[in-house]
Amino acid sequence: MSEPVLPDGVERREFDGTERLATRGDPVYGEPTDGEWRAWNPNRSKLGAMLELGLDTGLAGGETVLYLGAASGTTVSHVADFAGPTYAVEFAARPVRDLLDAADSRDQLFPLLKDARKPETYAHVVESDVDVVIQDVATRGQARVALENGRFLADDGRLLLAVKARSEDVTREPAAVFEAVREDLSEGYEVLEANRLEPYHADHLGIVARPR
């Protein structure tokens, strides 16, 4: 594994004798804390795993972010700790209640109860030319979701995509699923880097891409 390139606002700090990624912010999911710092668990965060595995995410800190598949806020709360305006799209009402709690202490975090497969429903809220689209949506057609939401991404922006093979097609080998998703993505993106997310997440692929 290569040494991860960390954005400003993300550091390696020691928690209970173990060095871990951390951001500054109020705790969200029972993670260990040390003063104002909170541990970032890569076993619960695809983006955290990408950073741990050394993928060059291009994140520097302060970016405008569109986060697709925010769930209850585990990862997007860490993102909002170091990023700029962070739009958090989640389809299910129950986790959005937890997401709202995470946003209480994060003025730059904007929860949206919307379907990431229908970006037209939040196009009036999300600013154009966001710096980063982060996607963790467990559904069929994950490449299509990324392509449809490419409308929000700046020309020099980045897509950080976590592909879940079993959500795409449970009957196929993950390697075949990942290859198909990469081929579909090529309609609108150039893949810069891709890496399996083991040992943190089984049958997941992390992709860093930019618009064509």
| 11 known member of a binding site | no
Per-residue pLDDT of the chain (212 residues; tens, 9 = 90+): 456 679 999 999 999 999 999 999 999 999 999 999 999 999 999 999 999 999 999 999 999 999 999 999 999 999 999 999 999 999 999 999 999 999 999 999 999 999 999 999 999 999 889 999 999 999 999 999 999 999 999 999 999 999 999 999 999 999 999 999 999 999 999 999 999 999 999 999 999 999 99
Collapsed DSSP state (helix, strand, coil) of residue 31? coil
Distances (CA, A) of 207 to 15, 29, 88, 139, 145: 29, 25, 19, 16, 14
Considering just the CA atoms, what is the radius of gyration of the chain in Å? Answer: 16
| 107 known member of a binding site | no
CATH 3.30.1370.10 for the 42-211 domain, yes or no: no
| 65 known member of a binding site | no
Give the start-to-end residue ranges of the domains of the chain: 42-211
| 208 known member of a binding site | no
Vertex 3, ends 154 and 12: CA angle to 5°?
90
| 137 known member of a binding site | yes
CB-based contacts of 82: which residues, under 8 Å, 6+ apart? Answer: 7, 8, 9, 10, 23, 24, 59, 61, 62
